Amino acid sequence: MSALLDLLIEKIGTFVAAATMTVALAVMAAQVVARYFLSDSLIWSEEVARYALIWSSMIGAAVAYRQGAHVAVTDVVVRLPHALQALCVRAVHLLIFGFAVVLAWQSWTLTLRSFARHEVTAALQFDIAWVQLALAVGGALIAVVALEAIWRGPPLSSGMSSV
């Protein structure tokens, strides 16, 4: 299971997050060049950059969560006995799991509704559901990572410092 998550989150997730961030940066740079050097604006650039950043953020959040790269305030937890630290860490992961499941479920429902209604974006004229799908995918990935963290438990050395 860990090897599958390593591939899915660490390799593929990191690549997708980096690729979509690169697309966003390239499009924003192209917009600056077009506007200030060519005196013409790219009407689609803002949408592409915004949607690429949404995908990058949602996939990147799952990657960062698995790597323990999110900010955590652990001052109180590290002062607790080891058994209570483990309980607190698992409780935090359980709360994150609950939030991620609600996020994934609600955004999946919204995505299906948008596909059914054929709602399109303003400039690019493609289904907005493809953008909303990022929330469902990101929420699902975060939920899977939270389950893995609950199963794995806290690191043995320092409570929540690497959570």
| Whole-number pLDDT of residue 5 | 84
| Whole-number pLDDT of residue 4 | 87
**Are 124 and 48 spatial neighbours (Cβ–Cβ below 8 Å)?**
yes
Cβ-based neighbour number of residue 3 at 10 Å: 7
| Whole-number pLDDT of residue 73 | 82
| Whole-number pLDDT of residue 157 | 40
List the one residue out of 28, 91, 99 whose CA is nearest residue 62. 99
| Whole-number pLDDT of residue 31 | 95
CA distance 101 to 103: 5
- Residues 6+ away with beta carbon under 8 Å from 160: 72, 74, 77, 78, 85, 88, 89, 92, 154
| Whole-number pLDDT of residue 155 | 60
Q: Taking the model in full, what pTM does it have?
A: 0.87
Instruction: Please write the tens of the pLDDT for every residue from 96-122.
Output: 999 999 999 999 999 999 999 999 998
Q: In which residue ranges of the chain is pLDDT below 70?
A: 154-163
